[in-house]
Amino acid sequence: MKNNIETTDIHSEEVEDVLSIIPDKIIRWGATTISLIIILILCTTAFIEYPDVINSEITITAVNPPVQIKGRVDGKIENLFVADKDSIKSEQYIACVSNAANFNDVMKLKQWLDTVDVAGVVKLPLKFDLLLGELQTSYIELQSLIKELQNQNNIEFYDKKIASFEAQLLHYNNYLSNVKKQSGFAHNELAAFYKQYKRDSLLLLNDVISESEFDNSNATYYQKKTTTQNSDVLVSQTQLKISECEQALLDLQLIKAQENHEYISKISDKINGLKTEFLEWELKYVIKSPSDGIVSFSKDLMKNYSINANDVLCTIIPNQEIGYLGKAMIPVAGSGKVCKGDKVIIKPDNYPYLDFGIVYGEVVSISLLPQNNHYLVEIRLPDGLTTSYGKELNTTGEVQGKAELITENHSLLNRLIKPIYAALKE
């Protein structure tokens, strides 16, 4: 019995030794398998890519939408310039509502205002029989100012006085020329008599001539000297008169220029005021197109048709295709990931995306500077408001919704390595 127990113990120890030893082959295969699994996982993470998503609110507005034209005042259509479905240009008149002014007369005034040269306004004819309604008072005041300026120019008060001063100036200049010549002759004669006076003085000292003869020579010399001085005074007086005449002429020309400038300034102000009043009249009574397109009447418009203020009279359908542009505000944090051309998934608030689908967009621009810690991103909608389900979202005005900005794809491996790399660099 004892021998059996010992044998069993011996065998148990041997078995344990055998079992405790793992073969090298199994270890190698196990390590290889684990390494392959790790490599396979790493390779798989290198191929698994997904983008970062930046969420934001978005507002979508139409580009070149149809424009409804409304009346601004109650009244009747006095002039209708287009027919339904006509092509129309920007700023082209569609209709004019009846008012106190005659439309054709107002257009004549507008043409005059557009072509008038204020500096030459005095030469332009101005009609007095125009019926201008609300513009009439300012037009009459403008007529009065132009008439005053024309009368002043017709009377030629300043021109005649200026011509008179110019004639006097010419006369004085001619007179001055003659006086200067006479003064020159007098100076020459004085010089000659002075020489004679000197000679007579020497002759008197040598008792060649008598004192009476010398006195005659002396008297003649001083007489010529007085004559010469009088000539010089006359030259100075004439020059003074010329200066006074020139100053008076300049003063008169200045007064004329100032009065003309005052009239021209008043006329210019009145013309600018009339232009402003015309724009107000046009805005109030004239219906015109804001853009190129096709005019579509909302009512059976015709002459004498009664309209009310704020009634939709027609719609301008633009020639260009209607487009849509979205604007989203993204936070500064992470905004550097967003680039031009990034795809955008849009989920309009009014249309649940599970029922209607999503709208696709594309980033076209990002603002250079942030406002309130957000950048403005403009998003183009290549397919308009057509969803991924092929449904067209019918809407007017702005569309609010959620936007998911899809940034560049990054692999899972890259995302795992980046934190480790950043930690090692610190």
Q: Are residues 197 and 260 located together in one domain of the fold?
A: yes
Q: Are residues 256 and 378 located together in one domain of the fold?
A: no
The DSSP element (H or E) to which 135 belongs, if any, is none
The pLDDT tens digits for 175-218 are 777 777 776 676 767 676 666 666 666 666 666 666 666 666 66
272, 287, 302 — which closes off a domain? Answer: 287
74 falls within a domain: no
Write the CA distances from 179 to 167, 170, 190, 241, 324, integer angstroms. Answer: 18, 14, 16, 13, 91
- pLDDT for the residue numbered 169: 76
Residue 103 near residue 79 (C-beta atoms within 8 A): yes
87 falls within a domain: no
Residue 323 near residue 381 (C-beta atoms within 8 A): yes
3-class secondary structure, 127: coil
Q: Which tokens belong to 310?
A: 């704020």
303 falls within a domain: no
Q: Are residues 281 and 147 located together in one domain of the fold?
A: yes
Contacts of 134 (CB under 8 A, 6+ apart): 99, 100, 101, 277, 280, 281
Longest dimension (CA), the chain: 203
Instruction: Return the top range by mean pLDDT from 87-101, 157-171, 182-196.
Output: 87-101
What are 231-239's contacts with CB under 8 Å, separation 24+?
231/179, 231/182, 231/183, 231/186, 231/187, 232/183, 234/179, 234/182, 234/183, 235/176, 235/179, 235/180, 235/183, 238/172, 238/175, 238/176, 238/179, 239/176
The pLDDT tens digits for 229-263 are 777 777 777 777 777 777 777 877 777 777 777 87
Q: Are residues 59 and 113 located together in one domain of the fold?
A: no
The pLDDT tens digits for 348-377 are 988 998 989 999 999 999 998 888 899 999
Q: Which tokens belong to 74?
A: 């109650």
17 falls within a domain: yes
CATH of the domain at 330: 2.40.30.170
Q: Are residues 181 and 202 located together in one domain of the fold?
A: yes
Write the CA distances from 116 to 112, 147, 364, integer angstroms. Answer: 6, 16, 47
Confidence of residue 2 (pLDDT cuts 50, 70, 90): very low
- pLDDT for the residue numbered 148: 79
Residue 102 near residue 131 (C-beta atoms within 8 A): yes
Q: Which tokens belong to 200?
A: 């007579």
Q: Running DSSP on this structure, what letter comes out for residue 132?
A: B
Q: Are residues 56 and 43 located together in one domain of the fold?
A: no
Measured CA angle at 224 (ends 218, 230), to 5 deg: 140
Residue type, 298: S
42 falls within a domain: yes
Q: Are residues 249 and 331 located together in one domain of the fold?
A: no
310 falls within a domain: no
Spatial separation of the C-alpha atoms in residues 153 and 124, rounded to whole Å = 13
More confident call, 169 vs 106: 106
Q: Are residues 141 and 187 located together in one domain of the fold?
A: yes
Q: Are residues 260 and 350 located together in one domain of the fold?
A: no
Report the predicted TM-score, pTM, of the whole model to 2 decimal places.
0.57
Q: Which residue has the tokens 């190129």?
A: 292
75 falls within a domain: no
Measured CA angle at 368 (ends 366, 371), to 5 deg: 95
CATH of the domain at 238: 1.10.287
Q: Are residues 57 and 183 located together in one domain of the fold?
A: no
Q: Are residues 116 and 59 located together in one domain of the fold?
A: no
CB atoms within 10 A of CB 344: 24
Q: Which tokens belong to 214?
A: 């010398």
Residue type, 41: I
Domain that holds residue 113: 93-287
The pLDDT tens digits for 34-54 are 777 877 776 776 666 657 788
Spatial separation of the C-alpha atoms in residues 287 and 214, rounded to whole Å = 108
Q: Which residues pair with 405 in a beta bridge?
A: 54, 344
Cα torsion angle, 69, 70, 73, 74, sign? positive
234, 260, 287 — which closes off a domain? Answer: 287
Q: Are residues 144 and 188 located together in one domain of the fold?
A: yes
Spatial separation of the C-alpha atoms in residues 367 and 347, rounded to whole Å = 23
Q: How many domains does the chain have?
A: 3
Average pLDDT over residues 123-143: 80
Write the CA distances from 34 to 23, 40, 209, integer angstroms. Answer: 17, 10, 158
Per DSSP, helices labelled H in 48-156 are: 103-115, 136-155
69 falls within a domain: no
Q: Which tokens belong to 119?
A: 């500096």
